[in-house]
Structure 1
């Protein structure tokens, strides 16, 4: 009888242990330092780069072709946001600030395909180091460690400001917008994409949705989420903004990314295994949060907001 129950006991023990590890190693937001530490760790273990490539953001899946390659979708996302935001109207040599540049994937595309002179900033020293390693000498890209809430640039320093999936890590969304708009020259272009919650005042979350939101905040160092409308209003009322702010919800185009980010590990198992057994544990550890993200975005609890405005 015991031999019959042993496999079930071991499986249950595994899931209990995994659940304990997942809860006790949560990456709660405490300060900007916890964001830096989390991204340092993600960069140094190279797991995300091996699985997802140079772009640690969601992809763009056209309505007519949802089956494009995950990495191609990430590159396509950059081009689609450039076109939608009007950033492509800027001439070659324009100065672009990439706020929350990661390991420089978007910065390199902006420089290579559009001829921009790109400055990427991130709060993670490890990301800056890796971005510099990945960037060919011929590209006009430079990377610096800097807090997005305290940009060390003069007013109007840039012709365009670009930011993808960085704002959710900012504990002060107004200051985040203030710093970007301050460094954008009059008439310059802002192109921004971020994770937002739906308007939780107009449509309060259920008990289950509150639990999901709590996990999404605590697992990936997010201090808070706000709605697309709320962040749009922050941009609209900024003293350096033209006031003409446009926003859209790109859930339809980006949602396939969540399942693809898991499937990528199945497609490229050696990308994980080549990093050692601990990498396998780390990759499995992220799956519950990815599944929760997928659920939240598909149900409309979370929304992928894109924004454009002029300085």
Structure 2
């Protein structure tokens, strides 16, 4: 009897989670809808509990190997620093972290590399939590700002850094221009982002369209750019190198789901409502794994050096088209 009772409870919880997922999408409406989503994720603490201070994917090497989920995220930041050539810059280099989350990357940039970091996010709750997590003496400051209309003057920073913020931007051309606008001439922009396959050359097919729509609707994304398309936008004001880190980051999706199994204390900490909230994210995480594994989505890396008005160029360092 106990077994049937338990199975019944599990079935009810699953049904509630799936119904919530299907009936209450979090579609992009404005920057406010993005801010509200991140405010809620920050307030309840569930995302931080399972994902740690870094609300982005991890780097598992090439070829990928087994890693602790949180360690892989920290490794990602250091790999991005090296790939972008930022490890060669001196202490005191000014950095703007656009879409900083709760400040995990900002603190590493400040503590491990000695950079002077200014970090912005659209979410007031993320700013508050980032400040709480940042020890005194760490040169990282946090403020609310809109990446589509940054409040800083032109040419303000030696480096502009952004991880996985682009999908929330409704106009990728404006986003690219804003990022490059606040970079000093000769300065560096380094971006890591979720991208879709370039559908100008290979349009989405009958199954890819509904999958992509769910990926947009569930996490307040207006659209994904392609690696090629975003590189072209950056090239209007800089020299661009792009790379594809899909394989290096791919294990993150299933690892993120596994956290709920490996850390059952979360059920005690957040209760049944927290469990249902977590369960609600599983279909999207599985769709992300499907999309990135099948070539519908790609993890793009971008490095742009702002020029002084000279003709810009683009080149691909290790981009691999893996559409299937």
Can you give the 5+ residue segments of structure 1 that lack an aligned partner in the other structure? none
1:50 is paired with a residue whose SS is helix
Residues 8-58 of structure 1: per-residue CA shift (max 9 Å, x gap): 998876655433211222100000000000000000000010111100000
Residues 223-269 of structure 1: per-residue CA shift (max 9 Å, x gap): 0112100000000013xx2xx20101100100000000011111111
User: 1:283 is matched with which residue?
Assistant: 278
Can you give the 5+ residue segments of structure 2 that lack an aligned partner in the other structure? 307-324
User: 2:269 is matched with which residue?
Assistant: 274
1:250 pairs with 2:250: no
* CA distance in structure 2 between the aligned counterparts of 1:183 and 1:60, rounded to whole angstroms: 28
TM-score (normalizing by structure 1): 0.93
**Residues 248/18 of structure 1: CA separation in 2 closer, same or farther (3 Å cut):** same
By how many angstroms is 1:68 displaced? 1.1
Pairs within 5 Å for 1:110-121: 110-121=109-120
- The answer (yes or no) to whether the contact 1:273–1:280 under 8 Å persists in 2 is no
- The answer (yes or no) to whether the contact 1:87–1:191 under 8 Å persists in 2 is no
- The answer (yes or no) to whether the contact 1:85–1:308 under 8 Å persists in 2 is yes
**Residues 134/9 of structure 1: CA separation in 2 closer, same or farther (3 Å cut):** closer
By how many angstroms is 1:207 displaced? 1.3
The answer to which of 11-20 and 193-202 deviates more is 11-20
User: 2:215 is matched with which residue?
Assistant: 216
Pairs within 5 Å for 1:142-291: 142-238=141-237, 241=238, 244-291=239-286
1:207 is paired with a residue whose SS is coil
- The answer (yes or no) to whether the contact 1:160–1:190 under 8 Å persists in 2 is yes
Q: How many residue pairs get matched?
A: 303
TM-score (normalizing by structure 2): 0.90
User: 1:300 is matched with which residue?
Assistant: 295
By how many angstroms is 1:276 displaced? 2.1
